[in-house]
Structure 1
Amino acid sequence: MPAAAARPISSTATERHRLKKAAWGHKTEYRLRVRAQIVLHAARGLPNARIAELVGVHVDTVRTWRSRFAELGMPGLADRKRTGRPPSFTPLQAAQVKALACQLPAETGTPLSRWTTPELAREAVKRGIAPFLSASTVRRWLARDALKPWQHRSWIFITDPHFRAKAARVLDLYARTWNGEPLDADEFVVSADEKTSIQARCRCHPTLAPGKARAMRVNHTYGRGGALAYLAAYDVHHAKVFGRTEPRTGIDPFMALVAQVMSQEPYASAKRVFWIVDNGSSHRGKKAAERLAAAFPNSVLVHTPVHASWLNQVEIFFSVVQRKVVSPNGFTGLSEVRDRLRAFEDRYNATAQPFQWKFTASDLDDLLARLDQHTVDHPEEASVGLAA
């Protein structure tokens, strides 16, 4: 008896693209990759026996997936639903465990600061939710709803009554406007702050360079070689950094940084130079603004709101310094720290581009609207946050 003819395969351009991506993708499951390769070969008109030889499967496997694609298209390549083993737990039990995970342990009388999957499994058994329960089962349940009760993030309510006005001034300066008027070419915006207590950790053994299948190795034991403060001023629109190191922070070191910048062109002869700072003790309040204006009449001190140092762009530069210069900390002394910071400034200024700051005044309004809504929905949390 002659063999049945192989079913012809036709596919759209979209289906061919998806099949090729599945057939040759590095992250595709093996079983899906084989099925996609079978269909692609079949679309070229190859017989089943030849496809089986090329893909490395039995001819019946080729016949099965070729037929399913001919009947159902791409959905036909997915596994069919199977009855499988009956579930050991009901949906209600899973929901009860998820509800437990969404409660603080202290609310349930459990002496824990946060839940872990073993503790949740133990508590569920203790409460009679299930006669037995493993931590891996709880982990799978929580993963379906992206619940991670063992993680935490800190937060704080806005306490500055003038937060919106202060933050808007900073954001306007980043957009090169001041009091609704665009800044002139001879007006500059400088973001400044201090990075305190950069230590010189003298490792007891030298750091080993990375090698084949081996990360860089840093000795855990170290001796303290002192600490210094790093003060930096960042020209927001020209991506130029001015830095200096001092034994400690304070009014005098900060004014020295200002003098370092304002004594150079184009800042010395600029129409105005706006200095964006946080509310640290070195430049806090009206006295700091008056002190700066007295020393440099073309300078204007602009404060970020309280607890809003994230609005200060120099903090982004400090994060770059922490990643590329300070960590992992291994210096022979403070002189090496100073030299490394100075050399990095030169290297950074040679290629730096302004940060792509995307948070605008409109985004600020949206953020404050969400916080206001949260305050309305949870007034008890708002009162606690404001009291703190």
Structure 2
Amino acid sequence: MPVAPAVEIALSAAERAQLKKMAHGHRTEHRLRVRAQVVLHAARGRSNAHIARETGLHLDTVRTWRGRFAEHGLAGLADRERSGRPPSYTALQVAEAKALACRLPAETGVPLARWSCPELALELTARGVTGPISASTVRRWLAQDALKPWQHRSWIFITDPDFRAKAQQVLDLYARTWQGVPLGEDEYVISADEKTSIQARCRCHPTLAPGQARAMRINHAYGRGGALAYLAAYDVHRAKVSGRTEPKTGIDPFMNLVAQIMTQEPYARAKRVFWIVDNGSSHRGQKAADRLTAAFPNAAMVHTPVHASWLNQVEIYFSVVQRKVVSPNDFTDLAQVRDRLRAFEDRYNATAQPFQWRFTTSDLDGLLARLDRHSADHQEQSSAALAA
């Protein structure tokens, strides 16, 4: 049979420029680059057989893309839409799976704390929503709406009626202000608290130092060498910390820390020293504030709001201690714990800079507004659940 003549290709200047960009562009997909080369060869009047030899393509492939361009132009070089395999699950089944994931397992009679993808897959099959289904399929469905029912977050509502006023006092002190008046050079801000129950875990086998392609190895088994409390006072603006260890926490251990700080300079002769503390039993309420002032008249206690220890900067220092001193816990006895904590204080004070505290009163107002909205939403959901 006679072979049909090759389709003639005539290019405009714009089409030629675009095809050259496709044919030689480094970021062009390989398939589009090859198709553009076919059309450029055809525009030079070359036969399909010649183009097939030049590009290494099958003759039928060259004929296809030459004909597609002649009929549809540049748009003809794109892939045609394909129907693909029909979906195995309906949109209704996907929606029911997501709805189940958004319910607490206890509400459905399932004795689980939270859903996992394998558990959801089993439950969908048990309910007859789907046939046997894999956990990976369920996970892919949930990912479409960023649903992760196996995760959870906790929160607590504000219970302190004076939350904002107390928090603003703390934030003002961090900004070196008290009751609208800037602090003087002889006024200081101390952030203090206790880190309880630091254990001395005596490992049953020596710790192995890290080596090539090997992490440090800590033996899992250990003997208990006792525990102690670490009390620390952090000077917010001077970035100086002073601490002590005690067998346990309490009023007397905390006052021992206060005496240790307030009998040293520059605090002993300071005009005022503000002590920021949380509402722990060692320094809770007005009695603790009166006790502090009675012992040291130039000291004033400022409490953070209830459930707001995160406003206390010494907690940041304790997190540093946890990461750099306590973990992994490997001590021979409590004496070694005490020595290492004291040595770390010296090391920290040698190079420490004040924390870059960025949470301001405007951030506080925004936080309270968000909490109010969450509280209102929670009450509405609770009311709807009771009504149902």
Normalising by structure 1, report the TM-score: 0.79
CA RMSD, Structure 1 to Structure 2 (Å) = 3.3
Task: Tell me the equivalent position of 2:116.
Answer: 116
Change (3 A) 1:342 1:71: farther
The answer on 1:137 being equivalent to 2:137 is yes
SS of equivalent to 2:293: helix
Total equivalences in the alignment: 339
Cα gap change, 1:287 to 1:135, in 2 (>3 Å)? same
Given that 1:375 and 1:382 are in contact with CA atoms closer than 8 Å, whether structure 2 keeps it comes out as no
Closer/same/farther in 2, CA of residues 120 and 291 from structure 1, 3 Å limit? same
Mapped to 2, the partners of 1:100 and 1:134 lie a distance apart of 16
- Change in Cα spacing, 1:382 to 1:349, as seen in structure 2 (3 Å) is farther
Q: In the alignment, what sits opposite 2:190?
A: 190
Give 1:165 shift: 1.0
- Give, in whole Å, the separation in 2 of the partners of 1:169 and 1:8: 68
Match of 2:243 in 1: 243
Query: Could you tell me which residue of structure 1 aligns to residue 296 of structure 2?
Result: 296
- Superposition map of 1:52-201 within 5 A: 82-201=82-201
Q: Distance in 1 between matches of 2:381 and 2:311?
A: 25
For 1:162 and 1:382, the matched residues in 2 are separated by: 26
Q: 2-side partners of 1:35 and 1:180: how far apart?
A: 68
The 2-side partners of 1:81 and 1:279 are apart by: 66
In the alignment, structure 1 segments of 5+ residues that lack a partner are 13-18, 24-31, 43-57, 384-388
Deviates more, 1:170-179 or 1:323-332: 170-179
Alpha-carbon distance, 1:280 to partner: 0.8
- Please report how far the alpha carbon of residue 87 of structure 1 lies from its aligned counterpart in structure 2 after TM superposition: 1.8
Q: Which residue of 2 aligns with 1:307?
A: 307
Q: Matched residue of 2:276: which SS?
A: strand
CA distance in 2, matches of 1:381, 1:307: 24
Quick one: structure 1 residues 90 and 281, their matched pair in 2 at CA, closer, same or farther if it must change by over 3 Å? same
The equivalent of 2:262 in structure 1 is: 262
SS in 1 for 2:331: coil
| 1:156-211 deviation line (CA, Å, top 9, x unaligned) | 11111111111111111111111111212221111000000100000010111112
- Residue 339 of structure 1 is matched in structure 2 by 339
Aligned counterpart, 1:203: 203
Contact persistence 1:375–1:381 (CA under 8 A): no
Q: Distance in 1 between matches of 2:332 and 2:149?
A: 42
Cα separation, partners in 2 of 1:82 and 1:227, compared to 1, 3 Å:
farther
Superimposed CA distance per residue, residues 213-252 of structure 1 (whole angstroms, 9 cap, x where no aligned partner): 2211100000001111000011111111111111111111
User: Following the alignment from structure 1 to structure 2, what is the Cα–Cα distance between the partners of residues 358 and 244?
Assistant: 29
Letter in 2 for 1:213: A
Give the fraction of aligned pairs with identical amino acids, expressed as a percent. Answer: 73
> In the aligned structure 1, how far is the partner of 2:99 from the partner of 2:262?
59
- Aligned counterparts of 2:122 and 2:324: Cα–Cα separation in 1: 44
Partner SS state of residue 193, structure 2: strand
Equivalent position amino acid for 2:286 in 1: K
- In the alignment, residue 211 of structure 2 is paired with which amino acid? G
Q: How much does 1:374 deviate? A: 2.3
Amino acid at match of 2:321: V
Residues 1:323 and 2:323 are matched in the alignment: yes
Give the distance between the partners of 2:260 and 2:81, measured in 1 at CA: 72
Structure 1 residue 10 displacement after superposition: 10
- What is the aligned partner in structure 2 of residue 214 from structure 1? 214
SS in 1 for 2:88: coil
CA contact (8 A) 2:207 2:216 kept: yes
CA deviation after TM superposition for structure 1 residue 85, in Å: 2.2
Structure 2 gap ranges (5+): 1-5, 38-54, 384-388
Distance 1:361 1:254, change over 3 A: same
Structure 1 CA distance for aligned equivalents of residues 382 and 258 of structure 2: 39
Aligned-partner residue type, residue 344 of structure 2? F
Larger radius of gyration: 2
After superposition, the Cα gap between the structure-2 partners of 1:10 and 1:164, relative to the gap in structure 1 and judged at 3 Å, is farther
Distance 1:35 1:350 in 2: 59
1:122 maps to a residue whose letter is L
Distance 1:91 1:337, change over 3 A: same
